[in-house]
Amino acid sequence: MAEVAVADTEEALVPERILELSERLSTAATTSIADIARINREAKMLAINALITAARAGEAGKGFAVVAEEFKNISARIDEVTGDLESQVQGDLRELAAVGAAILGHLRGQRLADLALNAIEIIDRNLYERTCDVRWWATDSAVVDCVSAGTPAAAEHASERLRVILDAYTVYLDLWICDAQGRVTAVGRPELYPRATGSSVSNTEWFRKAKATASGQEFVACDVERAPLLNDAPVATYAAAIRRGGTVNGEVVGVLGIHFDWQPQANAVVDGVRLTDEERSRSRVLLLDRAGRILAASDRRGELTETFRLPDAATGMGSYAENGVTVGYAATPGYETYEGLGWYGCIVQGERVVAANPGRADAA
């Protein structure tokens, strides 16, 4: 049996090859059918000329006229067969192209959805660690003593302890210890954020919810927001109640808030998605909150100011195509005890992606 040589097996399996081959086949079929029609037209002209010549020859040309007439009839039948062939082949090729495009669209969308899931999973695992950090550090003796004793010396000692933690954990902008009334009594970087110490955070969501937790095993996670006391930097704040004696069920005597330095961590995630250089030039990687607000974007546009609205039916994980743009998305699956905040990973890809998605990008 003759073997079919395939120069590159991996290339042969690329979905785009389906469309390329169908286009080549369509071109070849169209050209061949056109050649048959042209040759048949020439044959018809020969048959007509033969009939004319036979008629001029009179009785001597009768036998030749019969052959010429039969040849003319055969040409007519060739026309019919050619027409039928063109109609059938072109119809099948159009269907093949449509099937190929559907397969390609599905595979491309599935790949983008897989990449989006990977991006949001990385974020989930990272933020899960933050929930562990805040619950652990809220039981640190220096942190507990800071709000229990309420003395300047205790606050200074706690601030030193927070500075040591920040030196070891580079993903935070600052750590704040607040008393039960919401006043910030100690921070880890007073030289960078001098307005924080002594400020009241009693009206913030993270303080109120953390103070209301039922045990030391609980934590509060908040969406990304700009923090005025941190020079308006975007942060994801995690908080836990500080309890008397550092015990799980002790009386709430304060709140520890840890401010995750969102921008560099999020940039690393959206920039690290495994796209080819060609794909990256026409793709936009996004992290979205529950309402579609853009938390991070590979092109750095619209962050915390625009929304990208997925269709109402876009839940869980999937993809869709719209106006020449393919969108793959995946909802946060959570990690361990961190359930996530309803965030999405999202990748928008087209020949030229110049906006979040035509007709779906809005100012927040």
CA distance 288 to 279: 21
Provide the Cα torsion 182, 186, 189, 195; round to 10°: 50
Greater confidence (59 vs 191) lies with 191
Determine which of 133-137, 270-274, 289-293, 332-336 has the lowest per-residue pLDDT on average: 332-336
Beta-bridge partner residues of 322: 325
* pLDDT attached to residue 1: 35
pTM: 0.73
Q: Are 174 and 230 in contact (CB under 8 A)?
A: yes
As a whole number, mean pLDDT of residues 93-122 equals 81
Give me the percent of the chain exceeding a pLDDT of 70: 80
Number of other CB atoms surrounding residue 162 within 10 Å? 27
pLDDT digits (tens, 9 = 90+) for 219-260: 999 999 999 999 999 999 999 999 999 999 999 999 999 999
pLDDT digits (tens, 9 = 90+) for 39-61: 767 767 776 776 677 677 776 66
10 pLDDT tier (thresholds 50, 70, 90): very low
Within 13 A of 208's CA, how many CA atoms are on the CB side? 5
Q: Are 109 and 328 in contact (CB under 8 A)?
A: yes
37 pLDDT tier (thresholds 50, 70, 90): confident
Within 13 A of 330's CA, how many CA atoms are on the CB side? 22
pLDDT digits (tens, 9 = 90+) for 339-356: 889 999 999 998 665 444
| Domains of the chain from N-terminus onward | 10-107 (1.10.287.950), 138-265 (3.30.450.20), 275-363 (3.30.450)
* pLDDT attached to residue 243: 96
